[in-house]
Structure 1
């Protein structure tokens, strides 16, 4: 058995339906790319305010390139902002994330997080700044794309730091992520109905949804993970809509162990989340 820190919260709200189940939902844990929901929301807020357009051409090059970028890793040029946002959510592309985060500004995203009342939620200045810092670079240093590539050879700019730290990190709690999705998916942070529609459209593209949400059910989510040294994480927050009920959830696990422990942890984690969501959906459809 692998020691792990787990947190979970699932809340059902609907006509004649109101219940919740939880396990330590207030505990802040590393959530990885699950923070990208905040970046998406702020980018769309900037769009509805006229500060940018989803049809803008955004540059893709080594100035913004980052690791774990299945869409943009080997591409150079420009593409529509809309495609950048979709790549960030649908494929968790870190280059897309850093492009979007640079366009809207990390402090603007943090201001949105504060507006939402999320006191335990933190984002990095960029994924590359996160990698730089936990690899041992001084605070505020970006080791650049060449430096990121060197990390894959085992090189470190200094003594490595844990992903959970007080400077560059991706942390939140299950109760705050559930609170976020409950509010965001009702349009609480948007001025125009069309912005909420676009937010939902892109959030529905997250690849984790098909692994855990029963077929035929509308869902909106963004998962996250990390494997850094002996530290690992899986996190999946979001919401599914069953009939007239909304089931909002967050499941997170953090643990330390060898790389082969991922194969021992992920399938049971995924299966437990899928079983929980199926059970909730079945009960609501009964």
Structure 2
């Protein structure tokens, strides 16, 4: 499907969502989108940026992926399915923390990796790649602490534009912007972890490198995803999607007005991904 036809069809499917959604895609020099320059919350999708800087530093010799990092009680963050299985004081290789960060979006693992690479180094990479509308946190723990300490604060994990996400994945996956094949290969290995843990497969042998995000404490439900497909002949198609909805106190997605919107978004996302992959 041509990208402009893809855009028109997805816009039609997401029409009920109005201005609460956004998307973009790029293949070769063609880029299409809807509200692609408007900033949206995309939750844990920002962890791809951390993975990129981690891969770059490992390839340059600045970081040792086998270095063991210690899990302290004060490092614990909610939504850490892998590292919650380990006792305080346990150690794991930095590479395993990076894999958990992408595979299951483990927040404690993310903070261990961010501490090693330095959040300001991640921001410097984003600036180098031309991402002007993107913000990232210093850690996931900082988000939870502020949400706890400031009632009514609207949680922010990552504000970005779909243009920025597509620019990032095009630069890193297609253009080798991390500076070496070793860095690119390590990044791509990490970015397949989400598909591997979910058992996802794609048409025509396409490979997918992606990170999704979900942020759902009130007052907002945020869903986001960025990534890139690489076809069998090596063609790269970068993509980005986001949905931001008001999320009232005590609301549940199921059996509420949020459920139809989330379902519409998910159905459109399945169509969009399959078509971009060649299906």
Both structures adopt the same fold (TM-score exceeding 0.5): yes
Aligned match for 1:45, one of 56, 71, 74: 56
Q: Does 1:264 find its partner at 2:260?
A: yes
Q: Secondary structure at the match of 2:190?
A: helix
4+ runs deviating over 4 angstroms: 1-4, 207-215
What 5-or-longer segments of structure 1 have no aligned partner? 136-155
Residue of structure 2 in register with 1:217 after alignment: 206
The question of whether the paired residues in 1 share the 8 Å contact of 2:169 and 2:238 is answered with yes
Alpha-carbon separation, structure 2, partners of 1:172 and 1:213:
27
Which of residues 149, 154, 166 is equivalent to 1:157? Answer: 149
Q: Secondary structure at the match of 2:69?
A: strand
Contact 1:61 1:75 in 2 (8 A): no
TM-score by length of 1: 0.81
Cα distance between partner residues in 2 of 1:187 and 1:60: 36
* Other structure's SS at 1:52 match: coil
CA distance change for structure 1 residues 10 and 3 in 2, over 3 Å: closer, same or farther?
closer
2:98 to 73, 85, 89: 85
Describe the shift of the 1:2–1:180 C-alpha distance in structure 2 as closer, same or farther (beyond 3 A): closer
What are the ranges of 5 or more consecutive residues in structure 2 without an aligned counterpart? 1-15
> Which deviates the most, 122-131 or 258-267?
258-267
Cα gap change, 1:222/1:195 in structure 2, threshold over 3 Å: closer, same or farther? same
1:7 maps onto 2:7 in alignment: no
Aligned partners of 1:179, 1:251: CA distance in 2, in Å?
A: 13
Does 2:110 match 1:122? no
Residue correspondences, number: 254
Change (3 A) 1:252 1:210: farther
Distance 1:23 1:29, change over 3 A: same
The CA deviation at 1:107 is 0.9
Match of 1:138 in 2: none
Q: 1:181 to 1:171 in 2, by over 3 A?
A: same
Q: What value does the CA root-mean-square deviation take over the aligned residues? A: 2.2
Q: TM-score scaled to structure 2, two decimals?
A: 0.83
Using the TM superposition, give the Cα deviation of residue 44 of structure 1 relative to its aligned residue in structure 2, in angstroms.
1.6
Is contact 2:204-2:232 (8 Å) kept? no
Counterparts in 2 of 1:233 and 1:213: CA distance versus 1, 3 Å: farther
Match of 1:106 in 2: 119
Measured against aligned partners, the alpha-carbon deviations of 1:178-197 in whole angstroms (never above 9, x if no partner) come to 00000011353323312211
Report how far residue 59 of structure 1 moved. Answer: 1.0
Q: Which position in structure 1 is the counterpart of 2:236? A: 246
Q: In the aligned structure 1, how far is the partner of 2:122 from the partner of 2:236?
A: 26
* Aligned residues of 1:3 and 1:255 also touching (Cα < 8 A): no
Question: 1: CA distance between counterparts of 2:64 and 2:35?
Answer: 40
* CA positional deviation for 1:202: 0.9
User: Match of 1:63, SS?
Assistant: helix
Quote the Cα distance in structure 2 between the aligned partners of 1:38 and 1:110: 9
- Provide Cα deviations, 1:15-64, integer angstroms capped at 9, x if missing partner: xxx64431110011101100001111111222122222111111122131
Is 1:229 equivalent to 2:218 in the alignment?
yes
Inter-partner Cα distance in structure 1 for 2:60 and 2:17: 48
